[in-house]
Amino acid sequence: MVKQFMARHSRTVVDRRAPFAEPAPVMLRQVRRVMPGAAEVEGNPRARSAVMRVAERTEVAA
């Protein structure tokens, strides 16, 4: 759910019906992805596939 929200609001959307129109403003900017450390994976083997996505809200009104 969060991944879809970030994907939808962090990319530039261009309306194909009006190719010369201004693109929609971007609400989020993806900063980085954080993976678990070695200690976390050792204590919890299922954590090795975990990814925490970090994003910043831009100045665009929601």
Q: Beta partners for 55?
A: 30
φ, ψ dihedrals at 44, nearest 5°: -140, 95
Confidence of residue 39 (pLDDT cuts 50, 70, 90): very high
Whether this prediction's pTM lies above 0.85 is answered by no
Using DSSP's 3-state secondary structure scheme, residue 22 falls into: coil
Confidence of residue 62 (pLDDT cuts 50, 70, 90): low
φ, ψ dihedrals at 13, nearest 5°: -110, 125
The residue ranges of every structural domain in the chain are 2-13+24-57
In this predicted model, what pLDDT tens digit does every residue of 3-36 receive, in sequence order? Answer: 667 666 666 766 678 778 777 777 888 888 899 9
